[in-house]
Amino acid sequence: MHYELTAEDRADLQARGMLPETIAAYIRQFQQGFPPIQLERPCTLGDGIARIPAETARLVQLYTEAAVAGRLIKFVPASGAASRMFQLPLSFFQQPELLSNQVLVRKAAEGDADCQTFQRFLGQLDRFAFAQELRIVLNRNGHTLEGLLSQGQYHTLLTYLLTPTGLNYANLPKGLVPFHAYGDHSRTAFEEHLVEALEYVRDASSVARLHFTVPESYRQAIQTYLDGMCHRYAQRGAQLDISYSIQKPATDTIAVDLDNSPVRDRSGALAFRPGGHGALLENLADLQGDIIFIKNIDNVLPDRLKSDTYRYKKLLCGSLLHLQQQAFFHIAQLKSSLPSESDGARIAIDAARRFAQDQLSLVLPQDFAKTPTPSQRAFLIEQLDRPLRVCGVVKNTGEPGGGPFWVRQVNGTTSLQIVEASQVDLTNAEQRARWQAATHFNPVDLVCGVRDYRGRPFPLAQFVDPATGFISEKSKDGRSLRALELPGLWNGAMAYWNTVFVEVPGSTFHPVKTVMDLLRPEHQPAPVPPLTTRLD
């Protein structure tokens, strides 16, 4: 494929921190594609998925010691816009011919699911936590919510809800949208994450540390908003240490047309697209953290339902610390100065092997037992001296997304991986059957240990499987194009980490993917019990 980079292209690449060779590498990747993941079988309880032990005191103790020592930080990818969340009302806003009661009623009666859902959206607007903000902006402009609804002025209503004329929810980061109502006030997803962090990442000085990845265009607005939150909570005796980063321009990928030629925008510049959440691995590495909780921005619950989240966050962290202590112990034993053929060395190797197989689900090469003792020792050290993650997984209830699988590697062994549907060849009947047999789902509930046994940060980029990205087809300005995403943050970007899956209850997972999810009972205020009259 022949293409030429202009002087402007080279200047753009330099500003992004990218080399011209990167463009060539991306085009080769488009041409070659990515090999599909080879599913061996889904992980199930007892076969890749563990349960929290009944005796949890030791795990809680380990967690508490790490928290008090200030080893913990919470990492929340929060760059996503709320446009997808508000996709349904946005689609009706963009089709004003549908915004009449007559049309809506007729199409809903004919079975149009979108019209039925939109009618429900309109009919229950006052149940959303953002209803008060909407009322305020409407009143400021001479309208009332009830008036616009009764008069069928739905386009005006959506204008104030979705566009810069009003609340601008179609463009705001999702974290700035009010999720939950608390009597006379509401909380955004950002604030709910602060409340969570104060419970399970607070240190001995009562400081809770969080890191948000945010869109560059809203970084200042988000920081100003959260600075206000910090001040409010400081008045209650809590301290929040919040840091921010943006997805680096150097991790963007180019778009190509269907012939794999670079696409240019209307100004003639190369068209770049964000490289997906896998690009955030650099942000994660830049933290130079120790024990890192990772959770999505939209998976938060109101206070009345947070107790399970708190309990299992602490237990997952304790589980990771318990495993990390054992891994560090075995590495130290393997690295001791015992002669390779001594009984002590063989005992250390056998103990490390059992730990790796039983606790980390490591599958040894078939010829492991026949290899020389020094090679066994070196292999086990290399396998144990890796970043570690403990991933909470929930029972599969049909939510879209990835799950835990045993995956066959190129070298013939198998390993535990979080796999997305886009990574699997679902046209292959055998692979599709294995995908559909999954019993558990990935809610993005991770605790990560990213320092080695010497206390040094791991070079996380060295543990990525570059063959696990994927290519999708998009449409931009009426043109079809192909987009490339880097290996996902908890998929291929962590492919060579040591991974442990632990079942957690579904009560810890209630994401808000669409605005209608906010009408689920879990995101609504607790129902008020009816008054009863006692007759004596």
Q: Is 268 part of any domain?
A: yes
% of the chain residues with pLDDT over 70: 97
SS3 for 209? Answer: strand
Q: What is the Cα 355 distance to its own chain's centre?
A: 29
pLDDT digits (tens, 9 = 90+) for 119-145: 999 999 999 999 999 999 999 999 999
- In sequence order, the β-bridge partners of residue 407 are 39, 415
On whether residue 386 sits in a domain, the answer given is no
Residues 361, 391 contacting (CB under 8 angstroms): no
Q: SS3 of 439, please? A: coil
Q: In this structure, are residues 219 and 259 in contact, taking their beta carbons and an 8 Å threshold?
A: no
93 shares a domain with 50? no
Our count of domains for the chain comes to: 2
- Residues composing the chain: 536
Given a cut of 70, whether residue 446 has pLDDT beyond it is yes
Q: In sequence order, which residues have a C-beta less than 8 Å from that of residue 479 and are 6 or more positions away?
A: 257, 263
Residues 315 and 194 reside in one and the same domain: yes
Residues 97 and 77 reside in one and the same domain: no
Q: Is residue 2 part of a domain?
A: no
Which residue type sits at 480? S
Cα(104)–Cα(121) distance, integer angstroms: 12
Same domain, 128 and 248: no
Can you point out the beta strands (E) in 248-288?
Answer: 253-254, 272-273
Task: Please choose, from the candidates 361, 354, 376, the residue with its C-alpha nearest in 3D space to the C-alpha of residue 415.
Answer: 361
* Measured CA distances, 217 to 18, 193, 222 (Å): 21, 21, 10
Q: Are residues 177 and 264 in the same domain?
A: yes
Are the C-beta atoms of residues 476 and 273 closer than 8 Å to each other? no
Mark whether 132 and 214 lie in a shared domain. Answer: no
Cα dihedral 396, 401, 407, 409 in deg (nearest 10): -170
Q: CB-side exposure of 206: number of CA atoms within 13 Å?
A: 8
Confidence of residue 529 (pLDDT cuts 50, 70, 90): low
Q: Which single residue is written with the structure tokens 């109101």?
A: 302
What gap in Å lies between CA 307 and CA 121, rounded to an integer? 30
How many whole angstroms separate alpha carbon 169 and alpha carbon 158? Answer: 10
Res. 535: pLDDT tops 60? no
Q: What is the residue whose two structure tokens read 């009332």?
A: 144
Rounded to whole angstroms, the maximal C-alpha distance in the chain is 92
Q: Please report whether residue 365 resides in a domain.
A: no
Shared domain for 259 and 113, answered yes or no, is no
Q: What is the pLDDT of residue 532?
A: 55
Average pLDDT over residues 257-284: 90
Query: Of 127, 162, 197, which closes a domain?
Result: 162
Output the pLDDT for position 183: 87
Same domain? 58 vs 188: yes
Asked whether residue 207 falls in the same domain as residue 310, the answer is yes
Query: Hey, CA dihedral for 299, 303, 304, 307, is it positive or negative?
Result: positive
Same domain membership, residue 67 and residue 141: no
Which of 162, 197, 218 is the C-terminal boundary of a domain? 162
Report pLDDT for 129: 97
Lowest mean pLDDT among 158-162, 191-195, 268-272, 460-464: 268-272
Instruction: Quote the mean pLDDT of the chain.
Output: 93
Domain that holds residue 181: 12-82+173-319+420-424+435-523
DSSP, collapsed to helix, strand or coil, labels residue 320 as: helix
DSSP conformational letter for 488 = P
| In contact, 323 and 58? CB cutoff 8 Å | no
How far, in Å, are 9, 117, 301, 316, 493 from residue 507 at the CA level? Answer: 50, 25, 9, 15, 28
The pLDDT of residue 401 is above 80: no
Q: What is the dihedral of CA 472, 473, 475, 476, to 10 degrees?
A: 60
Report yes or no: 77 and 277 within 8 Å, Cβ to Cβ: yes
* 270 beta partners: 264
Query: Per-residue confidence at 531, pLDDT binned at 50, 70, 90?
Result: low
- In a domain? residue 217: yes
Average of per-residue pLDDT across 507-519: 96
The answer as to whether 76 is a domain residue is yes
The predicted pLDDT at position 2 comes to 64
403, part of any domain: no
Confidence of residue 52 (pLDDT cuts 50, 70, 90): very high
Using alpha carbons, select from 486, 489, 514, 507 the residue that is nearest to residue 174: 514
- Joined together, the tokens standing for residue 289 give 């953290």
- Domain holding 286: CATH number? 3.90.550.10
How far, in Å, CA of 83 to CA of 92, rounded?
Answer: 13
Give the span between the Cα atoms of 346 and 328, in whole angstroms.
Answer: 18
Q: Residue 346: inside a domain, yes or no?
A: no
Residue 385: pLDDT band with limits 50, 70, 90: very high
Q: Which residues of 25-39 are buried (b: 16+ CB within 10 A; e: fewer)?
A: ebbebbeeebebbbb
Chosen domain end from 128, 162, 196: 162
Within this chain, do residues 130 and 99 fall inside the same structural domain, yes or no?
yes
Write down the H helix ranges in 124-252.
131-140, 145-150, 154-162, 189-200, 219-234
Does 497 score more than 60 pLDDT? yes
What is the 8-class DSSP label of residue 219?
H
What pLDDT does 266 receive?
85
Instruction: Look up residue 85 and give its amino acid.
Output: M
Q: Which of 341, 380, 349 is nearest to 364 (CA)?
A: 380
Which pLDDT score, from 0 to 100, does residue 472 have?
Answer: 84
Are 474 and 481 a contacting pair, CB within 8 Å?
Answer: yes
CA dist., res. 64 & res. 59, Å (int): 9
Average pLDDT over residues 468-490: 86
Q: What is the pLDDT of residue 10?
A: 92
User: In terms of Cα–Cα distance, which of 267, 317, 299, 289 is closest to 75?
Assistant: 289
Structure pTM?
0.93
pLDDT above 90 for 171:
yes
For the cut 90, the answer to whether the pLDDT of residue 159 exceeds it is: yes
Task: Kindly state whether residues 279 and 194 are assigned to the same domain.
Answer: yes
Report the range of poorest mean pLDDT among 344-348, 436-440, 471-475: 471-475
28 Cβ contact list (under 8 Å, min separation 6) = none
